[in-house]
């Protein structure tokens, strides 16, 4: 089977080098249109790229998804591909984060025990827009805005790859229709109790209709640009952090003076990450950044649980 969609993915893989020739690939198939489209595309490109491909499905054991496991087995059997089907012994809590955590653990375990170096998922440009807006609303900063990227590490020697980030949900829908792939309509995707679903079903259509029909493309480009900026700044910040850190509780503020605010914030975030039990808030980071140029003896007020962070001569240090 060949189509424009196949050609697009083939070209993309040639330019991005995210799934090298001869790789052992595990495709994560949920039964929805995105991962069905991805699975078919990967299987059709398999010979050209010399890949070894198998499919994994994680069955959450949810009442509303009754029959999904058998549906997947049927499709995969027809395609003659090896399937790893993992069913939760008791139903996984119907919460996005819990389900996702369980799924990635299952996928990682299968990849480790069967020697797959790549796990691929059907995330699209539309998912990227959703994730961007979801994190923007939660106030997650540039790390959150750029979290849905082409690759991310799943384990020691296992990479999660998202080859469809340049395809929209419309593309995957059209593909499934063109090749008559039997989409499983996931009832959870319609449930507006989940924030992500409200973003997908209400917010994005509203933005497309009332503001800009190209909003998905523009957000994807913004995420791409921000990601490269973030990688550069992270590298610089880690270098500066290594020069400035004295011990777990103390940092040399002289090394941070005259540095751009962007680096100061990132270094302070790394420093606080060592001291605090959870991620520092925006306000906490700002408070410590101010200490870089503050008079000797100045201290913070927002770290009650761990003590105070104070200026002592050239240093910023934790006082318990």
Ligand X SMILES: Nc1ncnc2c1ncn2[C@@H]1O[C@H](COP(=O)(O)OP(=O)(O)OP(=O)(O)O)[C@@H](O)[C@H]1O
Annotated binding site for ATP: 30-35
Minimum CB separation of residue 192 from ligand X in Å reads 16
Q: Which is nearer to ligand X, 131 or 300 (CB)?
A: 131
User: E-strand spans in the chain?
Assistant: 24-28, 52-59, 82-87, 118-120, 151-155, 158-161, 245-247, 250-252, 308-312, 315-319
Residue with the shortest CB distance to ligand X: 122
121 binds ligand X (CB under 6 A): yes
Eight-state DSSP code of residue 187 = G
Minimum CB separation of residue 80 from ligand X in Å reads 19
Calpha distance 130→123 (Å, rounded)? 11
159 binds ligand X (CB under 6 A): no
What is the chain's length? 320
Q: Which is nearer to ligand X, 76 or 251 (CB)?
A: 76
List 26, 58, 75, 92, residue binding ligand X (CB under 6 A): 58
List 100, 178, 209, 218, residue binding ligand X (CB under 6 A): 100
Eight-state DSSP code of residue 65 = G
199 binds ligand X (CB under 6 A): no
Interface stretch with ligand X, choices 12-20, 51-59, 222-230, 263-271 (CB under 6 A): 51-59
Calpha distance 272→250 (Å, rounded)? 10
List 26, 84, 123, 264, residue binding ligand X (CB under 6 A): 123
30 binds ligand X (CB under 6 A): yes
Phi-psi map region of 75: left, alpha, beta (phi>0 left; psi -120 to 50 alpha): alpha
Strand order in the sheet with 151-155: 82-87, 52-59, 24-28, 118-120, 158-161, 151-155
92 binds ligand X (CB under 6 A): no
Going 195 to 196 to 200 to 204, the CA torsion angle's sign is positive
Residues that bind ligand X (CB under 6 A): 28-30, 34-35, 56-58, 96, 100, 103, 121-123, 127, 131, 148
């Amino acid at each position: 089977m060949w189509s424009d969609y196949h050609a697009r993915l083939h070209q993309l893989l040639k330019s991005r080098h995210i799934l090298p020739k001869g790789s052992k690939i595990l495709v994560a198939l949920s039964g929805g249109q995105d991962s069905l489209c991805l699975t078919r595309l990967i299987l059709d490109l398999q010979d050209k790229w010399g890949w070894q491909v198998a499919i994994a499905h994680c069955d959450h054991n949810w009442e509303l998804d009754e029959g999904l496991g058998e549906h997947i087995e049927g499709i995969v059997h027809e395609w003659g591909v090896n399937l790893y089907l993992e069913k939760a012994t008791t139903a996984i809590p119907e919460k996005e984060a819990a389900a996702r955590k369980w799924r990635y653990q299952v996928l990682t375990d299968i990849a480790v025990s069967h020697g797959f170096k790549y796990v691929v998922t059907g995330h699209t440009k539309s998912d990227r827009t959703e994730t961007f807006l979801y994190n923007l609303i939660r106030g997650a900063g540039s790390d959150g805005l750029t979290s849905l990227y082409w690759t991310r590490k799943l384990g020691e020697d296992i990479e999660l790859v998202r080859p469809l980030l340049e395809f929209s949900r419309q593309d995957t829908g059209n593909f499934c229709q063109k090749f008559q792939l039997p989409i499983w309509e996931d009832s959870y995707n319609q449930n507006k109790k989940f924030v992500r679903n409200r973003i997908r079903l209400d917010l994005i259509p509203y933005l497309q209709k009332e503001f800009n029909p190209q909003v998905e493309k523009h957000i994807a480009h913004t995420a791409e640009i921000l990601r490269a900026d973030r990688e550069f700044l992270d590298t610089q910040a880690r270098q500066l952090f290594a020069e400035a850190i004295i011990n777990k509780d103390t940092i040399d503020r002289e090394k941070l003076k005259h540095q751009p605010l962007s680096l100061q914030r990132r270094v302070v975030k790394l420093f606080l990450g060592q001291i605090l039990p959870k991620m520092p808030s925006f306000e906490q980071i700002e408070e410590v950044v101010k200490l870089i140029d503050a008079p000797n003896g100045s201290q913070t007020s927002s770290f009650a649980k761990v003590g105070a962070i104070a200026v002592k001569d050239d240093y910023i240090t934790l006082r318990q």
